[in-house]
Structures are given as C-alpha cells and as structure tokens.
C-alpha cells in the first residue's frame, strides 16, 4: 500500500477490511455509509483488488461489477482502480455512456475468432453507471 501513498487505513477502510479480508472475514455483501472524503472508495477498491488478485481462474469472465450513480464518479473510481491494479494483472473496464455503445462493447468483450469459440470478457472488473 505504501507505494501508492497510503501508509495507514482510515476507520471506514479498516472496518471494511476486517469484515471482508481480516479476521472477521465473511462472504457477504457489504453496505457502508460514511461522510464525503472519508475513504469509502478506497475501502472497497482495496478489498476487490485483493480478492481478485489472490484468486485465480482460467476463464476470462467478468468477476466484479461496481455500480455508480453517474458517469463522472464512475470515471473517478476507475482511476483509483487503475492505480491499484497496475501490478496485479487485472483489467478494469468502464461503461459510462461517454462513447458509442458499439465502442464500449468492443472494449469490453473479445469476439470469437472461430465458430464454437465463446465471446470472453476483456476485463474482469467493470464499473458501470446506474440507469
């Protein structure tokens, strides 16, 4: 974490980490509420990146989805994910309606080269604007 400038977790980050990765680990959805600039984004980014980077799969399928209320926030959150996944061999995609749907689909899904081959995801984590 230190390489990205984080030397200590904030309270919301510690709480989410303990509930999902730490000694209180339990597989379930987490809903968090915290004031602005409290570290909520990094709280779930750290957990998702850790879980995806420590589990392997041979399938190139979408493994995580983050829904955000608007495209500006989706782009901001993608920047945070990009910073934390760069050494993890993970890929992050964004579908926020900022370009044509055809362009977004081609950036996210690899089409089969031959009959019998299935389409596969180019990304394992997708950020998407709700709506």
46-84 pLDDT tens trace: 888 888 888 776 666 777 888 888 888 888 888 999 998
Q: Tally Cβ neighbours within 10 Å of residue 76.
A: 13
Q: 14 Cβ partners below 8 Å, 6+ apart?
A: none
Q: Taking the model in full, what pTM does it have?
A: 0.76
- Counting residues of the chain whose pLDDT is more than 90, the rounded percentage is 2
Q: What's the pLDDT score for residue 33?
A: 80
For the cut 60, the answer to whether the pLDDT of residue 131 exceeds it is no
Q: What's the pLDDT score for residue 110?
A: 74
Nearest to 30 by CA among 40, 2, 81, 6: 40
- Counting residues of the chain whose pLDDT is more than 70, the rounded percentage is 79
For the cut 70, the answer to whether the pLDDT of residue 35 exceeds it is yes
What mean pLDDT value characterizes the chain? Answer: 78
In whole angstroms, give the CA distance from residue 8 to residue 67: 27
């Amino acid at each position: 974490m230190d390489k990205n400038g984080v030397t200590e977790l904030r309270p919301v980050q510690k709480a989410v980490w303990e509930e999902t990765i730490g000694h209180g680990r339990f597989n379930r959805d987490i809903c968090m509420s915290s004031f602005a600039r409290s570290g909520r984004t990094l709280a779930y980014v750290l957990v998702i990146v850790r879980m995806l980077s420590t589990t392997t799969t041979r399938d190139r399928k979408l493994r995580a989805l983050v829904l955000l209320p608007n495209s500006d926030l989706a782009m901001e959150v993608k920047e945070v994910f990009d910073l934390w996944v760069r050494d993890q061999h993970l890929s992050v995609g964004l579908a926020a309606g900022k370009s044509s749907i055809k362009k977004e689909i081609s950036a996210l899904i690899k089409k089969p080269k031959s009959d019998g081959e299935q389409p596969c995801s180019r990304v394992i984590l997708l950020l998407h604007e709700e709506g």
